[in-house]
Amino acid sequence: MVIDTQGQRTEHAQNAIMEFLLINHPLDCPICDEAGECKLQEYAFLHSKGQSRFNEKKNHKDKRVELGPNVMFDGERCISCSRCIRFADEVAKQPVLTFVQRGDHVTIETFPGTTFDSPYSMNVNDICPVGALTSMDFRFASRVWEMSFTDSICPGCSRGCNIKVGVRNNEILRLEPRTNMHVNEYWMCDDARLTQYKFVNENRVSSPMIRKGNTLVSASWQDATAQAAELLKKFKPSEIMVVGSARATNEDNYLLAKFAHNTLKTNNIDFLRHVDNAFGDNFLRTNDRTPNAHGAAEVGVKHETSGVSMDHLAEKIKQRSIKALYVMDGDIAANSTLTAALSDLDCLIVHASNHNSTTERAHVVLASTTYAELEGTFTNMNKRVQYVQPAVATQDHERIEGMQMSRWDKFGASNDRWARGERRNCHQNWEIVQDIANAFGAGWHYSDSGSVFKDIANHVSAFSGMSYDLLQEYQGLTLGKAGSPEPKGVVYQSNYMKPN
């Protein structure tokens, strides 16, 4: 059999198909959120003459139907491909969507008395080839081409779904899944889409702070790290407890462990687990709400038999055998057993990205980056090490290699209102730890995350053979198996008009 994919007859047929598809499709691309990443727009652009011979009236259908709490349906734009129906049946396992009516009146509805509220419902917005299904959270927030999309990893749970972070004017506007057949396939959960960007944009600790009397005042990095070192020097090593973080990267935890063991010479080191037994399910979501619990333990932040563990920390603080706490996990006071105990400390030094109940009690607050501003690696529940890169600029770095930039990011100047998004004065956790360790005379000089990771790869056997280049190439490597990576998946980029 011979199939012609080019030539006059083929083009004629393609044009005819496009004409049919566009007969009842409204011409509201200027309003539609999908414009710029729309398959129909793409095909019309490539295979259509741009003229319609249809003189009759177009069909009118409902334009604003809420299929569920997060999904809005526009009947006119729908081309009846049934992808959303299949997704609800086969992936979300909530078969509530169906076609109703016939012919050109066909439309999509939920069965009476049901609503499409699956925890994965918003994936239909991505797979919808047109703008018929849109996200109620994002609706009209920005055009696609105005955002930059940087590859990242979702920090919402220990699955470590591969995501893309959509940024405009240094603010995250949306998250979308990135294909990785070994982790999340093509999907991510609604909870992450709705929550994992807000804390990057809002309520941030925008510079280091020192407690003066009852209030925290902004300070320079030199003053803050000097103050932290000075406070720590007042205590015996056994009186200091160092708390790592399962929300921080492998690099951060590795240097923190090195700081605790070699510089402070304390055995009191552990990290707090954030487990929510109601969150996990049998698809992507897991009960462990942190992205790097496995990695933190692997690089050295774990309870030692001679030291104090998280379980006994409250008790030890009460007994006054722990007097100073150095915490990398900004959310420690939210833990009910520790809330009261923290007030009994003589010294609380905390790395925090957001204001919370821990920063209220802290003596020194060191402004740290969120996952969207750092370069590093997370190790997920299946021991897969995955690479994270900055999507949002800080005062430290305006541009970093690998960070995607839209036209507006590239050419904005200080007198453009659309380029004045806040640059926060925050540092990566490992940089802060290095500064404090150097105040103790450790003499470390890691220049970037890559040099810390190189050190990890050389000293922690499970990481040997890994490098940022390899992690990016294979979209993550499994601990201890850097030499035999899983096969690279073919990532089908369906939106060639979408920027980066």
Distance, in Å, from the CA atom of 452 to the CA atom of 251, rounded to the nearest integer, reads 6
Residue 411 binds another protein, judged by CB under 8 A: yes
Residue 63 binds another protein, judged by CB under 8 A: yes
Residue 146 binds another protein, judged by CB under 8 A: yes
The strand pairing partners of 148, in sequence order, are 167
Residue 35 binds another protein, judged by CB under 8 A: yes
Residue 21 binds another protein, judged by CB under 8 A: no
Least distance CB 130 / another protein (angstroms): 16
Q: Containing H/E element for 434?
A: helix 429-439
Q: Is 424 helix (H, G, I), strand (E, B) or coil?
A: strand
Residue 7 binds another protein, judged by CB under 8 A: no
For another protein, which is the closer residue by CB, 250 or 406?
Answer: 406
Residue 65 binds another protein, judged by CB under 8 A: no
For another protein, which is the closer residue by CB, 276 or 416?
Answer: 416
Residue 57 binds another protein, judged by CB under 8 A: no
Pairing of strands 162-168, 107-110: unpaired
Residue 496 binds another protein, judged by CB under 8 A: no
Least distance CB 307 / another protein (angstroms): 53
Least distance CB 480 / another protein (angstroms): 48
- Residue window 114-143: x/- pattern of binding to another protein, with contact defined by CB under 8 A: -------------------------xxxxx
Residue 45 binds another protein, judged by CB under 8 A: no
Residue 415 binds another protein, judged by CB under 8 A: yes
For another protein, which is the closer residue by CB, 36 or 160?
Answer: 36
Least distance CB 31 / another protein (angstroms): 5
Least distance CB 30 / another protein (angstroms): 3
Give buried/exposed letters for 404-437 (b at 16+ CB in 10 A, else e): bbbebbeebeeeeeeeeeebbbbbbbbbbbbbbb
Least distance CB 173 / another protein (angstroms): 11
Selected binder of another protein within 9, 53, 57, 64 (CB under 8 A):
64
Closest C-alpha to 277, from 263, 289, 262, 287: 287
> 202: buried, middle or exposed (CB in 10 Å: 19+, 13-18, 0-12)?
exposed
Contact indicator for 94, 116 with CB cutoff of 8 Å:
yes
Residue 31 binds another protein, judged by CB under 8 A: yes
Q: Which residues contact 277 (CB under 8 A, 6 or more apart)?
A: 287
Give buried/exposed letters for 95-133 (b at 16+ CB in 10 A, else e): ebbeeeeeeeeebbbbeeeeebbbbbbbbbbbbbbbbbb
Residue 58 binds another protein, judged by CB under 8 A: no
First to last CA, the chain: 38
Site residue total, another protein (CB under 8 A): 22
- The encoded tokens of residue 398 equal 């305006």
For another protein, which is the closer residue by CB, 99 or 418?
Answer: 418
CA 141 distance to own-chain centroid? 19
- The encoded tokens of residue 65 equal 């139907």
Residue 420 binds another protein, judged by CB under 8 A: no
Selected binder of another protein within 145, 186, 235, 283 (CB under 8 A):
145
Selected binder of another protein within 283, 408, 440, 446 (CB under 8 A):
408
For another protein, which is the closer residue by CB, 45 or 418?
Answer: 418
Least distance CB 135 / another protein (angstroms): 12
Distance, in Å, from the CA atom of 124 to the CA atom of 344, rounded to the nearest integer, reads 50
Least distance CB 139 / another protein (angstroms): 6
Pairing of strands 209-212, 364-367: antiparallel
Contact indicator for 100, 109 with CB cutoff of 8 Å:
yes
Least distance CB 88 / another protein (angstroms): 25
Distance, in Å, from the CA atom of 286 to the CA atom of 272, rounded to the nearest integer, reads 17
Q: Which residues bind another protein (CB under 8 A)?
A: 28-31, 35, 63-64, 139-143, 145-146, 407-408, 411-412, 415-418
